[in-house]
Every structure is written in structure tokens, then in C-alpha cells.
Amino acid sequence: MHKQTLPVLLIAILLFTSCSHLYTPALYHADIVYQPKPASFDTVKSATYISAALGANTSADGQDLLTSGQINISRGYVFNGFNLAYGAFGVAGDYNNSTTSNSATNNPPNNFKDIFFGAVGARASANLYVNSGRFDFRYIGIEMAYSHEFGAYANFRQTIISSPNYYDDPRTGLFTVGLTSEILFHNVDNADFENGIRVFLGTTFGYDDLSNGYYTSSTYIDKLTHYVFPKATYFFKIKRVFGSIEAGSQIMLRFGYTF
């Protein structure tokens, strides 16, 4: 009896997982971006930063691909032992669906290949630091972002809230907060060439429909990685040109200009 039951259970699990689909907001765990700030050894103590970026990440279940472009503008300050930055951003991207059906008799809600998403938002960042020669140790900081999503992908998530076999987080507004730690330094023989390495650990606040659905019976690790996410950034600045490479739930490459 037990030998017959086990294969049936395995088949049921496979059918369930193959027929269910998970959709989260386009910027979920992808709304935090490094905000530059002047260093204590810079001649200017406040600056404006404008940049453009390209990013890519997979969906929460790893099945689909999201690609996007982003424009950022921010203002950064350095004070005695303290940094501050704030800014705004805009995002335009594409959600590439890997589960498109080509059947003429089967037209599920997610029967699309590509769908547009966009977002606008604001960010703020602050940190404490100590200086040692050509090094600024930004030992503790806070980073936050609010974003509002719009477009066809956001509309699609609203339509599948009650659809069977679909797990959906329909939120279009996200508020993310986290802690940071960073080291910023300039080269030995060139004070105009700066490098920085930062780590971030944060979470997105607000009611999450997936908590009472998709993640109800998940493991502790799966639940933890759904709520808390890390991000690492390498930053550089050569005179007025800067860039960053960011890795976490999303991979992002960015270049910009400061004045």
C-alpha cells in the first residue's frame, strides 16, 4: 500500500509545481542601488550625481528573466563623521515569460512572451564614518528606497489575484530599508581615482500575500531569503566619471557623471 502511495504523491507534487506560477513586483529585491557620496578627502563636500544603468535578474521562482534600464539623479554630502544622500530614479524594463503556451485551445492568463514594466521612486542614504589617511571606513549606514511600479506587468498581476495555480504579490508600491557597511579609498599615487566596496542587508516592508500562500509550507531558509536579501557593490570614481557593479538578487552595471 505504501509503495503505491509514494509514486502517487510524487506525481501530484510534480503536477502541482509544474502548473503553479509565482509573480512578484518587478523591483522586489531590486530597488536598492548604491548612492555615491563625497569622501572626507575630496575637495568638494557636496555633489550631484547623474547615472544610467542596465540590470538583469530572474523572477522569484527562477523561471523568468527581467531586464531593465534605469536613470538616477542624486545629491550627496559629507560632513564631519557623517554622510548623507538622497535622489530620484526611473526604470523601464521587460519581463520575459518562459511559460508561454502555444496551444490554440489553451489561453492561460500568463500567455505572453514579453511584457513591459516601469517604475519611479526615491532613495535616501546615510552613514557614519571614520577616516584613516586615504581610507574612509563607513562602518554603519542605512539605505532606503520607495518605488511605484506601473505598466502592463503591474496590470497583469492585478488580474490574476484570484486565479487558480497562480501565486501573486500584486503590490505596486515597495518600501525597502537595510543596513550598510562600506570602505572607500583612493589610490596611493592618484587621489582622483577612488574605489569603494559596500555590503547591504535589508528587507521590504508591507503586507505580502505570498506569506499566506506560496511560502506557507516553505523551509526556514526559503522564507528567510524571501524576506531578507543581501547586495554587494564595487564603486569607482575617476575625477568626475563614476561607475558601479552591483550583485545580489539583481546584477547591475552603472556609469555616471558628477558635478
Q: What domains does the chain contain, in order, with CATH numbers?
A: 2-258 (2.40.128)
Task: Kindly state the helix (H) or strand (E) to which residue 126 belongs, with its residue range.
Answer: strand 114-132
Q: What's the mean pLDDT in 114-135?
A: 97
Q: Would the CA dihedral through 78, 142, 181, 230 be positive or negative?
A: negative
Q: What's the mean pLDDT in 12-19?
A: 42
Give the per-residue pLDDT at 17: 42
Backbone angles phi, psi at 248, to 5 degrees: 180, -130
Burial level of 245, CB count in 10 A (0-12/13-18/19+)? Answer: middle
Q: What's the mean pLDDT in 142-150?
A: 98
Give the per-residue pLDDT at 221: 75
The per-residue pLDDT for range 65-120, each reduced to its tens digit, is 999 999 999 999 999 999 999 999 999 999 998 876 554 445 567 778 899 999 99
Q: What's the mean pLDDT in 162-170?
A: 81
C-alpha cell of 51? 547615472
Q: If you search the block for the grid coordinates 566619471, which residue do you land on?
A: 241
15 versus 47: which is more confidently predicted? 47
- Amino acid at position 108, single letter: P
Asked if the model's pLDDT at residue 9 lies above 60, the reply is no
Give the per-residue pLDDT at 91: 98
Give the per-residue pLDDT at 224: 73
Q: Percent of the chain scored above 70 by pLDDT? A: 84
Confidence of residue 214 (pLDDT cuts 50, 70, 90): low
Q: What is the pTM of this model?
A: 0.85
Secondary structure class of 11 (helix, strand, coil) = helix
Confidence of residue 147 (pLDDT cuts 50, 70, 90): very high
Asked if the model's pLDDT at residue 250 lies above 50, the reply is yes
